[in-house]
Structure 1
Amino acid sequence: MKSTTITSLLVAGVSVLPLVAQAQSQTEIVQEMRRTQAALGNMQTRMNELEAALKQKNAEAPGMNAEQERELNRLSVMADAQVDANTSMGIKGLKISGSIDPTYIYTQNQNRAGFQFLNSSLTATGAPEFAFDNGAFGAAILDIQKEMESGTKFHLTLIPNRVGAGNTIDGKSIVHEASIWMPITGLDGTRLLAGQVPSWEGYEALESYRNKLITHNLLFDFTIPASFTGVGFEKALNSKYTLKTMVANINSSKKPNSEKSTALVFRADYFDYAQEFTYLALVGMVGKLPNYRAAGASNPITTVAYDGTDALVKTLELEGGYTRGDWSIAGQVSVGAQRNAAITADPVSGNLRDSSWWGASTTVGYKFNTALEGVVRLDYLNNQKNGGGTFGGWNFADSRNGLGPDPVGNPEVGANRSEITLGMRYNFNANTVFKVEYRYDRASLPVFVDVRDGTFKRDNQLFGTSMVLSF
């Protein structure tokens, strides 16, 4: 800029000389040239002053000095190197999360109180031991997800010892979920899925950090499957509607000999975020599932293994949730039936009969402040036909969970079950929640055994508290 300005001025000065020469003498011309040179010199000095002032202003203005620029360059190189390393080591797109929830439980009829954490879900004889007071809590969960650049996602969830989808299948597996979710090229919003996934039924989640209370509702415990193992797809129809379906084994990682049929399961979801949060879902299942009642044992849950007999099961469920301000509500209504799976056989022919059930559950929460929330849950399970019974092993009288007919009454009528739970949860920080609950279970018949004297009662009381840490 400086040299260009000076040159322009010189050119302008030289261009006027012929005109000056015509009007003035040589002496006057020389004097004029000297005056012009002096003016140019003054201009150069002023320009130097202005340049110095500009440099001073730039130095005073916010910005990085030379040392800061070197540090920025060094960090940029390190960041690029870290990205390359993450990609080469498979860390890119990897998410690891998990939780633990040490729990204290008092249950009246079992005459038991103490901590439950990482206890085995098997009895001393190796049979599964699942109950509403010994369910999916007191666990350590590790969740691993990896999303590749192609959009394909790998999902693995491990739950050692405690009740997860895999553990429900054989009493030993720690794998709760092992699945692949792969986008299908050319079909926007469609993903192929395969592997073992937890059941899609139920408004409550199995994991404690996702569940408002400690225990689960009656429908969750006794009327929904644990897992689907097979192949299917998920389709996002638009921003509000999603459809999932699978052809799968239910509660089984491998079909036994002589069994070739699978089940069809589906879930259709509607989400609306316009009014904070609203969702509705229709979930269904039809197909052959293990029928422990047909195994011919008095109670295969505690005595014998499943012998490979399957029977047709049909379930249908409508669930939903709504959150607005400090209030939240969620719930479900369910119906279901399984062929030849009722607790009581025909009293004349001795043939097995169908089991059937229906029920409803709802949970209401209110936040007193940002940290403290009160929770109420109400459940009802109608299970009286043919002595009662659902599926997945609940095809026999169970005096711990209050299922089946009165031991000294009419074997044709099973007990209907209900429960109310009052709870509080306190968010201590972003990762830690403290829970406390009181639960009262009621049956229409005396079907709860009191282990202190062996008598049968119509009700049971439970108190629980837990600390849930998630990351």
Structure 2
Amino acid sequence: MKFWQPTALAQAALLALGASFAGGAAAQSTADLLKELQELKKRVAELEAKQKAPEAKPAAGQWGMTPEQAAEFNRISVKTEAMEDARDASGLKLLKISGYMDPTFIYNKRQDRAGFQFLNAVGDDGYNYDNSYFGAAVIDFQKETDSGTRWRLTLAPNRGVGAVFDGQSPVHEASVSVPLGDLQTRFIAGQLPDWSGYEYLQPTLNKLITHNLLFDFTLPTAYTGAGMEITDGKWIYKGVIANMNASRNQPGEKAPVFAYRVDYSRGEFQGFGFAGVHGKAANFRGFDDTQPDGIGINPVSLEPYSTKNTRLDLFEFDGYFIRGDWTVQGQVSFGKQKQAAVTADPTTGELRDASWWGLSTLAAYKWTPRFETTARVDYLNNKKNGGGLLGFTGADDRNGIGPDGAGDPEVGANRTALTLGASWLFNLNTTFKAEYRLDRASQPVFINVKDSTYSKTNQMIGASVLVSF
């Protein structure tokens, strides 16, 4: 048998009612007492309703929304799922598209030339320090699959590495990266731009317009091959067996090079890296366009040279310190290639080895978050056997390479360059750059195209607008 159990609120109300009867029953009429009782019962009911209200749960599936809100929520959910399905079916999942353009103005004193450079063909003019990778329009596609495989295609008509070593290819990079076991161990293959030095090829990552002397004259252009990339904490290791500066080897060329790079991030603000290339690479010193087969003739023995590919050894070390408004970077490089010197042996006519070493350092300071100034100093020692650098195996009076034509042919010109620049970040996608550059050689090797005289110095002014997305 169950008995009614009054709630705490009901008990309090009854006690209050009893006290009221005890204190004032004699002075109140029956009607007044009845009215007061009804009001107390109504108050008790309201208090009990409030006490039970938090325990009430919304209807299943409504989450406190009105029917109209629930319908709108369901419509948005279905539409979102349909968009995701369409994205995945079209291959757009984890696809990133980016790009940039940088129309550039260049004034070159010794070349007696001033004007804009934009999308001009490198193959028509050759790679020079006043005509390198600036003045480009580039679009970059990067795709990553659910398995972690990365695919990349970068197109740079007339201005990418493909245009430099091929003469007409618009492909700057075409590479794949496949994880082996985990995402930190990867197989890499394809056409890969060179990774040596502290300066990057693309202007979006460079503070100046032109590149340093080591970048222009001592580093490879690109590799076509396969290898590995391993990330181990603060260390990153990369290495490939590849053709250097060639999408395929020519007949009689069978030996690839081994190219590698190691990077270490010491902390948040500093790090270092080194890179090298060892093996056989194209040697243009023995070529002669006047011969039917293109092979030069030894002027003493009258025998043809055999210099299609010769031994090459390159090594460079670079580092950086970036903190607050300051950026400091530096690099030292060494190189040697057999039978690639500008000047042959004066007695036997045999080709001799080219060797060089150089330094480059850069310092930049941000005066405001948008305005930055930069200074860079380069030095390149290249006097042995008349000079000779990677891909520059003859006297070059535009870039200032080789011996003085009226002087000692055994001594090549050492080169220096001082570059001063400023950049203004107009908005998140637009940067204006300006640059003054003074190049100097230890011998008069810069030609004045006006009168065909030679000078030890040359001056250049550049300006560009860089727009990226």
The TM-score with structure 2 as length reference comes to 0.84
Instruction: Give the counterpart letter for 1:350 in structure 2.
Output: G
Matched, 1:201 2:199: no
The structural deviation recorded for 1:202 is 1.6
**1:356 aligned partner:** 355
The structural deviation recorded for 1:40 is 11
Query: CA-to-partner distance for each residue in 1:371-428, whole Å, 9 max, x for gaps?
Result: 0000000000001110101122x00100000000001111100000000001000111
**1:27 aligned partner:** none
**1:108 aligned partner:** 109
**Pick aligned residue for 1:169 from 155, 165, 168:** 165
Instruction: Give the counterpart letter for 1:170 in structure 2.
Output: D
The structural deviation recorded for 1:65 is 5.2
**2:436 aligned partner:** 438
The structural deviation recorded for 1:121 is 1.4
**Pick aligned residue for 1:232 from 227, 231, 235:** 227
Partners of 2:403 and 2:44 in 1: CA distance:
110
Residues paired across the two proteins, number? 422
Percentage of matched positions with identical amino acids: 47
Partners of 1:8 and 1:148 in 2: CA distance:
67
Instruction: Give the counterpart letter for 1:290 in structure 2.
Output: A
Query: CA-to-partner distance for each residue in 1:239-268, whole Å, 9 max, x for gaps?
Result: x11111111110011111111111111111
2:178 aligned counterpart, secondary structure: strand
- Cα distance change on mapping 1:42 and 1:257 into 2, 3 Å: same
The structural deviation recorded for 1:85 is 1.1
**Pick aligned residue for 2:282 from 290, 293, 299:** 290
**Pick aligned residue for 1:179 from 175, 179, 193:** 175
Partners of 2:66 and 2:447 in 1: CA distance:
79
* Contact kept? 2:356, 2:380, Cα under 8 Å: yes
Instruction: Give the counterpart letter for 1:161 in structure 2.
Output: N
What pairs up with 1:29-48 in 2 under 5 angstroms?
A: 42=42, 45-46=45-46
The structural deviation recorded for 1:434 is 0.3
**1:29 aligned partner:** none
The structural deviation recorded for 1:273 is 3.4
Instruction: Give the counterpart letter for 1:227 in structure 2.
Output: A
Partners of 2:82 and 2:69 in 1: CA distance:
20
* Contact kept? 2:209, 2:435, Cα under 8 Å: yes
What pairs up with 1:270-349 in 2 under 5 angstroms?
A: 270-274=264-268, 277-297=269-289, 309-349=308-348
**2:31 aligned partner:** none
**Pick aligned residue for 2:447 from 424, 446, 449:** 449
**Pick aligned residue for 1:221 from 216, 222, 242:** 216
Partners of 2:65 and 2:375 in 1: CA distance:
58
**1:92 aligned partner:** 93
Query: CA-to-partner distance for each residue in 1:431-471, whole Å, 9 max, x for gaps?
Result: 10000000000000000000011000001000011000011
Instruction: Give the counterpart letter for 2:104 in structure 1.
Output: T
- Cα distance change on mapping 1:231 and 1:53 into 2, 3 Å: closer
Matched, 1:76 2:77: yes
The structural deviation recorded for 1:46 is 2.7
**2:386 aligned partner:** 387
The structural deviation recorded for 1:272 is 3.0
Backbone CA RMSD of aligned residues? 2.9
Partners of 1:44 and 1:119 in 2: CA distance:
90
Partners of 1:362 and 1:74 in 2: CA distance:
59
1:292 aligned counterpart, secondary structure: coil
- Cα distance change on mapping 1:192 and 1:48 into 2, 3 Å: same
Instruction: Give the counterpart letter for 2:446 in structure 1.
Output: F
Instruction: Give the counterpart letter for 2:175 in structure 1.
Output: S
The structural deviation recorded for 1:106 is 0.6
* Contact kept? 1:257, 1:308, Cα under 8 Å: no
42-51 vs 366-375, which deviates more? 42-51
* Contact kept? 1:289, 1:310, Cα under 8 Å: yes
Instruction: Give the counterpart letter for 1:456 in structure 2.
Output: Y
* Contact kept? 1:431, 1:470, Cα under 8 Å: yes
The structural deviation recorded for 1:50 is 3.2
Query: CA-to-partner distance for each residue in 1:324-364, whole Å, 9 max, x for gaps?
Result: 11110112100000000001110110000000000011111
- Cα distance change on mapping 1:85 and 1:284 into 2, 3 Å: same
Partners of 2:456 and 2:66 in 1: CA distance:
80
Partners of 1:48 and 1:66 in 2: CA distance:
29
Partners of 1:7 and 1:249 in 2: CA distance:
95
The structural deviation recorded for 1:73 is 3.0
Mind listing any 5+ residue stretches in structure 2 that lack a counterpart? 11-36, 59-63, 297-305
Partners of 1:295 and 1:231 in 2: CA distance:
29
Instruction: Give the counterpart letter for 1:283 in structure 2.
Output: A
The structural deviation recorded for 1:78 is 1.8
**Pick aligned residue for 1:404 from 402, 405, 408:** 402
Partners of 1:432 and 1:205 in 2: CA distance:
19
What pairs up with 1:119-158 in 2 under 5 angstroms?
A: 119-123=120-124, 128-158=125-155
* Contact kept? 1:136, 1:206, Cα under 8 Å: yes
2:175 aligned counterpart, secondary structure: strand
The structural deviation recorded for 1:83 is 1.3
- Cα distance change on mapping 1:329 and 1:66 into 2, 3 Å: farther
The structural deviation recorded for 1:129 is 1.7
1:242 aligned counterpart, secondary structure: strand
The TM-score with structure 1 as length reference comes to 0.84
Partners of 1:65 and 1:341 in 2: CA distance:
82
Partners of 1:110 and 1:355 in 2: CA distance:
27
Partners of 2:425 and 2:442 in 1: CA distance:
37
The structural deviation recorded for 1:68 is 4.1
1:235 aligned counterpart, secondary structure: strand
What pairs up with 1:39-58 in 2 under 5 angstroms?
A: 42=42, 45-46=45-46, 50=50
